[in-house]
Structure 1
Amino acid sequence: MFRVLLFVCGLLLFGCEAPELLPIGGPRPKATVPTNLTAGAARGDGETYYVSTNGDDNASGLAPDAAWGSLDRINGTTFGPGDRILLEGGATFRGNLEIVPERFRGTADRPILIGSSDGRPVEIVSDARPAVQIESVSGLTIERLRLIGNAPSCDGSGFDGAHGINLLYERGQRYAAITLSQIDISGYCVGVVARIARPSRLDGLHLTEVRATDNRAAGIVLLGDEPDPDGSLHLVDVRIVGGRAAGSPGVPRAESGAKFSGSGVFIAMAQGVRVERITVADNGGQNSCIDAGVSGGGTSGIAIDGIDIEIRGAEVIGQRVAPDCPWQGGGITVSGRTLVVERNYTHRNDGPGITIDNAESGRRATVQRNVSLNDARRSSSDGGIRLGGGQGDYQIHHNTVFVARGPALVAQGEASAGIPREVSVRNNLFGVGEGPLLLVDPTSIEAPVFHGNHYFDATDRYLIAWGHEGFEGIARFVEGADQERFGGQILAETGNPHLCGTQIVSFADPDISAIAVAVRPGPGSPLRDTGINLASVQGARLAPTDFSGTTVPAGRGPDRGAIEHPGGLDGC
């Protein structure tokens, strides 16, 4: 089974001797300037420097008409808290930026800014090195860049080669406040890669509207290190908001340590991760499995391992695996403790739409208000939603899942990964074109609870695979598995859900701009106002809004599935 936590072992390629680290926030030297430059006197905090393609590296850099002329001039200068480095907007520079603590001495509350002089993107065309190399600094904001590479090859690890932005923290200090904003990155091995080696710690790595497209190995890869004995991690407060990670096919015949190959977003051993409103599309397909000696599959579009992880509002489409990969290639995979996967749209992925794939220590996951359409395209056993392993406390509530070939949900694991308890599956809409609706192993998932779900089977067979037993028809499932009933009342519903988008029951997956209406309960829908009131269920964790942002419940009671009818309307 895919285990993100295990995949990162052996990835961190550290160990090179580091130069002496200057104390962050302490006294800083004057700007290093040519000796023949009279303007090179000591400067106060918060200077602004200008760089232009027609500038002069012997100029002061302190005014637009005295701009520097190259990226090398930046690399050879020392900057302090609050300084700004403004490159000519709309211009193209060749070379790379090297940001090291000896010269970049920003602080968390007074970061150094590298950006555009007028808001237009600044293009950097780099050579075989990273376009932006960042090593063990705090207080840095980089914005409005377009990084263009031409990585001739990426080795089997995916690390050796040119990256768009390469962050390396290995000098044993605590660092903070790194922000990357409005940056386009293409043509590299990995668009953005960060590696934090213990005992170093980075608090605050924020990516806003970063678009990593058409990079060979992966889009965004952020890696912490093994936890300390007290369990604390070394990559903390990670945020990815907006942006896109697309078109990274992966490295063929990847080495066994490089399981991020073919992923859009891969984050491992991190704490306090927030991923919101990102589009992850058309990754994978060349991320070989068998040649790597891996008894599993490729990675997912978004794969995150750690503590306190939230993924909201993402779209993951078209994640692929190579022909020799037997499974995975799914939309979203999370593992660890305290996980939230909410209001995401996964569709047309080779593997499951959403996977909770925990090792023995994993616990507490909430998967709610998600839409999964036509996922698990290459699998007959992985489902639109898959969960297993860990200690449990998993809540799978108010999701809409349609797969052309069932099962819609898989709940099974292996004894070595833990037997999860307190697993509840409530108020979901599950639909299949053929095959079983559910595949559940009650010997590896202890006492799961299925209540208030709506089931649709295009063949009208309503098959449920429950351990060694199989049930045909929901009534037999209720009696044989003692599910979907409470106090003598049958809680399940079956049949056509009568959604506004009638094509959904034909297993189409609309564009994200149309999905909120397409999956909404239509006139006469049995989903409307018939869900269980989870607010009355002790310990239930509820989202305040549905998939489309409507406050719930919108009618007399909660609707089943991910999207509520807004109420007050006869139609859609």
Structure 2
Amino acid sequence: MWRARTLTSATAVALVLVAGCTAMPHYGPPSTRTYYVSAGGDDSAQGTSKDDAWRSLARAGRAQLRPGDRLLLAGGDRFTGTITVGGDEAGSAEQPVILGSYGSGRATIVATDSAGISVHNTAGVEIRDLVLRGRGTARSHQAGVNLYHDTSDGGRLRHVTVSDIDASGFQVGIGVGSTHAGTGFADVTVRRAELHGNQDAGLLTYGPDFVPARPAYAHENIDIRDVHAYDNAGDPDAVYRPTGSGIVLGGVRDATVRDSSAHDNGSRAPANAYYGPAGIWAWDSRGVLIEHSSAYRNHTGTRTDGAGFGLDTSVFDSTLQYNLSFENDGGGYYVFSRWQHPHRDNVIRYNISSNDGRKLPHNGALTVNGSHIGNLQIYQNTVVMARASAGPGTVVRLRPHNSGVTIRNNLFVSDGYPFVVADADLSTNQVLFQGNQFHAATGQWTARWDDRLYMALATWRNATGQERLDNRPTGTTASPCFDAGPLPVVATPSDARRLVPDCPHAGLDLRARFGTAQVADDYFGRPVTTPPNTGAAQP
């Protein structure tokens, strides 16, 4: 986040090993069939009925799965091994192969030295109603569900659905990867997944090294809903890659994360790593929408990262909206771009951050860092930051080399921290504040701009040109009058309602003045007024 992120050989190579298809040769009839596997079955049976089921996954692996076939495991039973769907199997989006459970409950696959389920160089597969268990994060180098494409001539493989899955004990709970530019998977849906106790991440998509001058995204149309990634601790020996994240989207064009969460991740991320983890974030992607999700109590071992949500290097046309972050080690929301990796046309709006930066308050609850950032719009967010025991902090942190950043109609509440810390004397062409509400719940109002400390909104405005429109002052220091007190504590997602102001303050009409896209509803689904009040919540 603060520096370049790459998923070099470590994670990618490890997941390549998952996809290496080492299953036995496949034999089976050409017609569409349903195969059954039961702990009480017999591998010499036909396997085509519940009463004539196979016993092992090894036997099931000898059946070639054609379009429309189903492979079902007895609910409540445990099976050792893996299910592999190879390049000569499945392949039809209209007649997908179905892998799942039958009877009562879900079957459990206990993987030893492999993925729980591997889909390699094919698609047209639906995976549902299964529990996947790996060997544990200290020994596992596999994914619970691994979708992997390593051919250069097949384009994108279409249609994979993963639903009602519980995956733990792997390097990654669900992995979607590709080795060649412009090839990978399309139309991938993940629904109702619990991804916990893994090492690097709960869910990860990735592709080959990204070249901004020639963007070629590995995957497209990724839809993630009701996915919960937690207690993915990180690899204490991984110095050159970020580990311990919740949901990570890399190498993707057009993706949605909705109604999902990432919490309590990164507890074992190393202190000497170059990069740290975050809750839910994207990099090297275009058209990513992350909304109606939460990220809280995520950790980092380093002096960077540990954020709730992020748009990392080389992200375009993407939006963070209607999200909640609280009590993360790092900031609630961040953007980052490194040299020669542009970051353009992104939006952060109608989000809430409460008491983020618990370990790293100096990085801010809302952080903008890097170069080549263009047309970044940050508006209608609510950020409340109480003091942390870790030392000095700030509400908004602006690193050098920013450009084209507008910050408007936000509600910022501070417990004595500066509202803004800018590491350089940024011009209004680089960063522009307008129409924001800065309320000091305790202590003195301050802002640090380069090497100068300003003790009032008016003096900061006059010296820097911030909070002006048509040569008139904008912005206010008025109290939002939270019903739960001056600095309400958000300890669970349901506590977000504590940050609804009783004393609303009208912001700027962003649509009329700047042509900014405005939404119909606030964070809680209430209609947005014209002009809207500051912050993410209407009273």
Instruction: Give the unaligned 5+ runs of structure 1.
Output: 21-29, 34-41, 155-159, 566-572
Over 3 Å counting, the alpha-carbon distance change for 1:350 and 1:227 in structure 2 is closer
Over 3 Å counting, the alpha-carbon distance change for 1:403 and 1:212 in structure 2 is same
With the length of structure 2 as denominator, give the TM-score of the two structures: 0.90
**5 Å matches for 1:192-231?**
192-199=174-181, 200-227=183-210, 230-231=214-215
Query: Among residues 90, 96, 103, which one is paired with 2:76 in the alignment?
Result: 90
Whether 1:116 and 2:133 are equivalent positions in the alignment is no
Deviation at 1:75, TM superposition (A): 1.0
Q: 1:354, 1:384 within 8 Å by CA — same for their partners in 2? A: yes
Query: Among residues 373, 382, 385, which one is paired with 2:363 in the alignment?
Result: 382
Instruction: Give the unaligned 5+ runs of structure 2.
Output: 388-392
Q: 1:124, 1:146 within 8 Å by CA — same for their partners in 2? A: yes
Structure 1 CA distance, aligned partners of 2:20 and 2:126? 23
Deviation at 1:381, TM superposition (A): 2.3
Q: Which residue of 2 aligns with 1:364?
A: 345
Q: Which residue of 2 aligns with 1:140?
A: 125
Provide the secondary structure at the position in 2 that maps to 1:431.
strand
Q: Which residue of 2 aligns with 1:564?
A: 538
Q: Which residue of 2 aligns with 1:353?
A: 332
Over 3 Å counting, the alpha-carbon distance change for 1:506 and 1:298 in structure 2 is same
Q: 1:411, 1:445 within 8 Å by CA — same for their partners in 2? A: no
Q: Which residue of 2 aligns with 1:534?
A: 510
**5 Å matches for 1:406-421?**
406-414=393-401, 419-421=402-404
1:72-123 Cα offsets, whole Å, 9 max, x none, are: 2221111111112222223222222122123x22312221111122463222
Q: Which residue of 1 aligns with 2:144?
A: 164
Provide the secondary structure at the position in 1 that maps to 2:318.
strand
Percent of pairs with identical residues = 25
- Name the aligned partner's letter for residue 244 of structure 1: H
Structure 1 CA distance, aligned partners of 2:179 and 2:281? 20
Deviation at 1:439, TM superposition (A): 1.6
Q: Which moved more, 1:279-288 or 1:85-94?
A: 85-94
Deviation at 1:349, TM superposition (A): 0.5
**5 Å matches for 1:339-350?**
339-350=318-329
Structure 2 CA distance, aligned partners of 1:57 and 1:13? 34
Provide the secondary structure at the position in 1 that maps to 2:524.
coil
Query: Among residues 256, 271, 276, which one is paired with 2:253 in the alignment?
Result: 271
Which stretches of structure 1, 4 residues or longer, exceed 6 Å deviation after superposition? none
Q: Which residue of 1 aligns with 2:390?
A: none
Structure 1 CA distance, aligned partners of 2:376 and 2:333? 13
Over 3 Å counting, the alpha-carbon distance change for 1:92 and 1:9 in structure 2 is closer
Instruction: State the superposition RMSD in angstroms.
Output: 2.5
- Name the aligned partner's letter for residue 307 of structure 2: G
Over 3 Å counting, the alpha-carbon distance change for 1:167 and 1:526 in structure 2 is closer
Aligned length: 517
Deviation at 1:350, TM superposition (A): 0.7
Whether 1:300 and 2:285 are equivalent positions in the alignment is no
Structure 2 CA distance, aligned partners of 1:449 and 1:131? 50
1:16-70 Cα offsets, whole Å, 9 max, x none, are: 9x999xxxxxxxxx9725xxxxxxxx4534x222222222223222222222222
Q: Which residue of 2 aligns with 1:39?
A: none
Over 3 Å counting, the alpha-carbon distance change for 1:177 and 1:273 in structure 2 is same
Structure 2 CA distance, aligned partners of 1:560 and 1:538? 16
Q: 1:213, 1:219 within 8 Å by CA — same for their partners in 2? A: yes
With the length of structure 1 as denominator, give the TM-score of the two structures: 0.85
1:218-263 Cα offsets, whole Å, 9 max, x none, are: 222221113477422112222211121110121113141x22x111
Over 3 Å counting, the alpha-carbon distance change for 1:351 and 1:136 in structure 2 is same
1:390-445 Cα offsets, whole Å, 9 max, x none, are: 2310111110001124411122234xxxx422x21111110111221112334387
Over 3 Å counting, the alpha-carbon distance change for 1:447 and 1:267 in structure 2 is closer
Q: Which residue of 2 aligns with 1:107?
A: 92
Deviation at 1:183, TM superposition (A): 0.2
- Name the aligned partner's letter for residue 367 of structure 1: I
Q: 2:380, 2:408 within 8 Å by CA — same for their partners in 1? A: yes
Structure 1 CA distance, aligned partners of 2:420 and 2:160? 44
